[in-house]
């Protein structure tokens, strides 16, 4: 392998509550400058199929849409892909996406690496998650089993690793775990009768499909580094949902800040650039307080931009920009740059920006552990820009009008200076407040609809 350009090594994380467009940015940064003989590895380091990355990209002269839940976004490009040890790995969902990619790419040629240490997220994790939610004792989860999976991870004895999964011991190991969890499940009304046999049967095929992919990933990562490969590490959820640094308990169950990627993958921070993806207007799904939640006409932005969960179809709540949260998360992630997304989604709307919180009648720029009762304090600046005539974001991105595609392409070609002045002012004020430089602004859902500065 001959390197044609310096290796691009990046960690891509979400800066608010998820659904910022990380998948799209990963795709752009993976694909950008990629030559046939270059080696690119895209890695997932946390979360599971609670994630939903929507990718809209050009392949063989046609636009395609692909949603990944279990697999890293690189799957649509046939890059090498890896699953880290802290991922809630769902083999069935993964194989399904692999099959889709196989069809799309006419055979998957990239290498697939799954850490032998990764834990398996089973159907029963989903059943427990759903039972907790329907008993009204959850956090409005995606019901994909994430909470119960990470409980098992912390409990240790009920964690089934990918190594266990592939080995001949698997049925015995699963039997042991189900015995251990039987009382817990039955107390929730989940019958374990026949579950072992059922699981052994349904996992026969995925175990066979995945049998060659188990690796000691930290060592293989070192080799990729030595070989000068491009490595893109992608976060699944948004930093506001971090298990320890989000608003407890309304978080997901994994640690998702960028530094967690390095510790679990055996990599060093100084070898990577960390890019935060920030949707200009934040959205939140599930329970949890949302300081800038919009109760006025700004909320229409949600419907106009199709803000529905890619994993659950739930309506996402929409809020005004929250720079207090963005600043905290850019800092905690050690971001080197930010990509602002959905600048097209708020065009023609007057927008205020949250620059402080009112916590128990004290104005602060620090984010407390609970957001209950926190009121936004908006700065005196408001912003409004127009990219093109009319609000045409509802158009199906696979079949958008040619004039819209052209308008977007013109902005991409024009670069930063061609952007509306009001949008540039927004970016400048944002960067000053958040303390991190914007390196790109996204103006459309398709891969390539981003102006990188």
> Considering only residues 85, 119, 276, 286, which one is a binding residue for ligand IMP as defined by CB under 6 A?
286
Cis amide prior to 249 (ω within 30 degrees): yes
**Which stretch, 13-21, 83-91, 108-116, 156-164, contacts Mg ion (CB under 5 A)?**
13-21
354: number of Cβ within 10 Å:
21
282 binds, among ligand IMP, Mg ion, none (CB under 5 to 8 A by kind): none
286 binds, among Mg ion, ligand IMP, none (CB under 5 to 8 A by kind): ligand IMP
Q: Count the alpha carbons within 13 Å of 128 in the hemisphere toward its beta carbon.
A: 22
Which lies closer to ligand IMP via its Cβ, residue 79 or residue 142? 142
329 binds, among Mg ion, ligand IMP, none (CB under 5 to 8 A by kind): none
SS3 383: strand
Sign of CA dihedral 375, 378, 384, 387: negative
Q: How far apart are CA 82 and CA 48, in angstroms?
A: 13
Structure tokens, 224: 């990729």
- For every residue of 267-308, which 3-state class applies, written as one string? CCHHHCEEEEEEECCCEECCCCCCCCECCCHHHHHHHHCCCE
Structure tokens, 172: 């015995």
State the nearest-atom distance from the C-beta of 309 to ligand IMP, in Å. 7
Per rule CB under 6 A, is residue 25 in the interface with ligand IMP? Answer: no
State the nearest-atom distance from the C-beta of 156 to Mg ion, in Å. 30
DSSP H or E segment with residue 49: none
Mark residues 309-348: x for contact with Mg ion by CB under 5 A, - for none: -x--------------------------------------
CA nearest 18: which of 188, 251, 245, 202? 251
Q: How far apart are CA 38 and CA 21, in angstroms?
A: 25
State the nearest-atom distance from the C-beta of 140 to ligand IMP, in Å. 5
Q: How far apart are CA 443 and CA 356, in angstroms?
A: 27
Q: How far apart are CA 134 and CA 128, in angstroms?
A: 10
> Considering only residues 8, 11, 19, 66, which one is a binding residue for Mg ion as defined by CB under 5 A?
19
Nearest position to ligand IMP, beta carbon: 286
Mark residues 237-256: x for contact with ligand IMP by CB under 6 A, - for none: x---x----------xx---
By DSSP bridging, strand 62-68 and strand 351-359 are: unpaired
256 binds, among Mg ion, ligand IMP, none (CB under 5 to 8 A by kind): none
Say if residues 239 and 333 touch (Cβ distance below 8 Å). Answer: yes
Instruction: Report helix, strand and coil shares of the chain as percent, to nearest 5.
Output: 35, 20, 40
> Considering only residues 46, 115, 142, 305, which one is a binding residue for ligand IMP as defined by CB under 6 A?
142
State the nearest-atom distance from the C-beta of 18 to ligand IMP, in Å. 3
| Helix-helix angle 123-134:146-155, to 10 degrees | 120
Q: How far apart are CA 231 and CA 224, in angstroms?
A: 8
Say if residues 28 and 341 touch (Cβ distance below 8 Å). Answer: no
69 is catalytic: no
Q: How far apart are CA 234 and CA 218, in angstroms?
A: 16
19 is catalytic: yes
Mark residues 50-69: x for contact with ligand IMP by CB under 6 A, - for none: xxx-----------------
Q: How far apart are CA 329 and CA 434, in angstroms?
A: 9
**Which stretch, 5-13, 211-219, 283-291, 296-304, contacts ligand IMP (CB under 6 A)?**
283-291
Per rule CB under 6 A, is residue 139 in the interface with ligand IMP? Answer: yes
> Considering only residues 12, 13, 19, 407, which one is a binding residue for ligand IMP as defined by CB under 6 A?
19
Q: How far apart are CA 448 and CA 178, in angstroms?
A: 47
**Which stretch, 52-60, 68-76, 173-181, 369-377, contacts Mg ion (CB under 5 A)?**
52-60
39 binds, among ligand IMP, Mg ion, none (CB under 5 to 8 A by kind): none
Per rule CB under 6 A, is residue 285 in the interface with ligand IMP? Answer: yes
**Which stretch, 108-116, 281-289, 299-307, 357-365, contacts ligand IMP (CB under 6 A)?**
281-289
Q: How far apart are CA 193 and CA 173, in angstroms?
A: 17
State the nearest-atom distance from the C-beta of 138 to ligand IMP, in Å. 8
419 binds, among ligand IMP, Mg ion, none (CB under 5 to 8 A by kind): none
- Residue count, binding to Mg ion (CB under 5 A): 3
Which lies closer to ligand IMP via its Cβ, residue 238 or residue 444? 238
Overall size of the chain counted in residues: 453
Say if residues 273 and 336 touch (Cβ distance below 8 Å). Answer: yes
Per rule CB under 6 A, is residue 140 in the interface with ligand IMP? Answer: yes
Site for ligand IMP in 64-93 (CB under 6 A): none
**Which stretch, 206-214, 227-235, 284-292, 317-325, contacts ligand IMP (CB under 6 A)?**
284-292
Binding residues (CB under 6 A) for ligand IMP: these are 18-19, 50-52, 139-142, 144, 146-147, 236-237, 241, 252-253, 285-288
Indicate which residues carry an active-site annotation.
19, 53
């Amino acid at each position: 392998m001959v390197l044609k350009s310096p290796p691009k090594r990046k960690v891509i994380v979400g800066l608010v509550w998820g659904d910022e467009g990380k998948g799209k940015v990963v795709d752009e940064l993976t694909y950008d400058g990629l030559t046939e003989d270059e080696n690119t590895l895209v890695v997932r380091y946390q979360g599971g199929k609670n994630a939903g990355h929507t990718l809209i990209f050009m392949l063989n002269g046609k636009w395609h849409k692909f949603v990944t839940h279990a697999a890293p976004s690189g799957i649509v490009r046939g890059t090498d892909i890896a699953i880290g040890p802290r991922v809630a790995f769902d083999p069935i969902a993964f194989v399904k996406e692999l099959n889709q990619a196989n069809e799309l790419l006419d055979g998957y040629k990239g290498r697939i690496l799954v850490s032998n240490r990764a834990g398996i997220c089973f159907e029963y994790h989903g059943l427990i998650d759903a039972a907790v939610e329907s008993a009204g004792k959850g956090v409005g989860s995606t019901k994909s089993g994430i909470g119960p999976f990470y409980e098992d991870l912390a409990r240790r004895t009920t964690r089934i690793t990918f190594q266990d999964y592939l080995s001949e011991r698997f049925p015995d190991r699963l039997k042991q775990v189900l015995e251990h969890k039987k009382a817990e499940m039955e107390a929730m009304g989940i019958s374990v009768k026949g579950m072992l046999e059922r699981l052994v049967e349904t996992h026969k095929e995925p175990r066979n499909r995945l049998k060659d992919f188990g690796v000691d990933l930290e060592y293989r990562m070192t080799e990729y580094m030595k070989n000068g490969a491009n490595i893109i590490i992608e976060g699944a959820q948004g930093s506001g949902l971090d298990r320890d640094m989000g608003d407890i308990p309304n978080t997901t169950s994994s640690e998702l800040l960028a530094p967690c990627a390095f510790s679990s993958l055996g990599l060093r921070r100084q070898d990577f650039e960390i890019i935060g993806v920030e949707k200009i207007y934040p959205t939140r799904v599930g329970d949890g307080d949302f300081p800038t939640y919009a109760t006025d006409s700004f909320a229409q932005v949600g419907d106009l931009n199709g803000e529905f969960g890619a994993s659950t179809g739930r309506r996402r709540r929409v809020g005004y920009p929250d720079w207090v949260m963005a600043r905290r998360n850019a800092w905690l992630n050690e971001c080197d740059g930010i990509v602002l997304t959905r600048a097209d989604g708020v065009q023609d709307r007057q927008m205020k920006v949250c620059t402080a919180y009112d916590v128990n009648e004290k104005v602060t720029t620090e984010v407390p552990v609970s957001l209950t009762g926190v009121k936004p304090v908006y700065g005196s600046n408001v912003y409004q820009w127009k990219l093109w005539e009319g609000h045409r974001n509802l158009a199906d991105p696979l079949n958008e009008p040619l004039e819209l595609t052209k308008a977007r392409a013109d902005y991409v070609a024009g670069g930063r200076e061609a952007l509306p002045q009001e949008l540039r002012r927004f970016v400048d004020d944002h960067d000053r407040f958040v303390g991190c430089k914007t390196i790109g602004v996204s103006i459309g859902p398709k891969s390539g609809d981003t102006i990188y500065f």
